Amino acid sequence: MSRSLPAVCVRAPAKINLGLAVGRRQADGYHPLATVFQAVSLYEEVTATPSDEPGLTVSGPQAERVPTDSSNLALRAAHLLAEAAGVEPEVHLHLAKGVPVAGGMAGGSADAAAALVACDALWGTGMSRDQLLELGAELGSDVPFALVGQTAVGRGRGHLLSPAMSRGEYHWALGIQEQGLSTPQVYRTFDEILGGVDGEPEPDRALMQALRSGDPEAVGAALVNDLQPAALELAPHLVETLVVAEEAGALGVLVSGSGPTVAALARSQQHATTVAAAMTAAGVADDVRCAAGPVGGARLVGSSVAHEGKG
């Protein structure tokens, strides 16, 4: 086997669920989903370095809230890849956070996707993208999308992906809360207050048509999230965040995924800045960011890897 040298850096994007239809909880504990993902320009960066003492460090906003033990999804990704490739998981991972923690934007899944790509490059395992997607699905429902990016429809638990016909660029103002929401708790609350429909849900037709036409106003009008009532039940202050964004002229506003991040679709990059300023001025978010989408999935952004010799 070739020997790899010093470090690989991979960047993976956050996601917004433009549409999220949730079915009734099944016997295996999962809910069938039909979701429309869009990858947006908030990123996690994972740097993988060979190490005889494997471990993980974290920097950036809310870094103290990220576990660094074996429960961390990026570490789990490295170990899963090593097992699949038959190599030792001798790697140190550093996560540079750019996605809200427990914010409904799949930051942990982005970490896992980035770790898979980084360790694959570092170790020279030569995994195909389909093999990485299979490993990603074992780690979590949103990990495959973080590998692929762009705009896609997710079925099953969200892990069965197909490309979505989508035109144009979309600009977002994101209202971020310091206190995250637990995804399992949001789903439990969803079960209590709504329950979901029987059978496999379908993506919203109006949303799919709006994306095909590249019409931001139609996309804004079609944004939908079946988990939003549950998120608002657990975090009622988010109602004010939604209202402020709407009053600032957002084309559409919703809670992203399981929350609590509020995503407001704007007319342009400049308008996104205006909506973000309104949320800041009203004090309805602990942090406010602007982002655009769709963007690509996990990709190499820096490497000093060289392969030497034959094993």
How many CB atoms are located within 10 Å of the residue 39 CB? 27
Out of 15, 111, 120, 226, the active site residue is 15
Known active-site residue 97: no
**Of 111, 120, 142, 226, which one is the catalytic site residue?**
142
The Cα-based distances of 157 to 66, 139, 145, 151, 293 in angstroms read 24, 12, 12, 17, 23
Question: Could you tell me which residues come within 8 angstroms of residue 236 by beta carbon, excluding any fewer than 6 positions away?
Answer: none
Beta strands in 88-156 (DSSP E): 91-96, 151-155
The reply to whether 15 belongs to the active site is yes
Give residue 299's Cα distance to chain centre: 15
Using only C-alpha atoms, the chain has a radius of gyration, in whole angstroms, of: 19
Residue 130 CA to residue 229 CA, distance in Å, equals 35
**Which CA distances in Å does 97 have to 44, 162, 233, 278, 298?**
5, 28, 28, 25, 14
Residues annotated as part of the active site: 15, 142
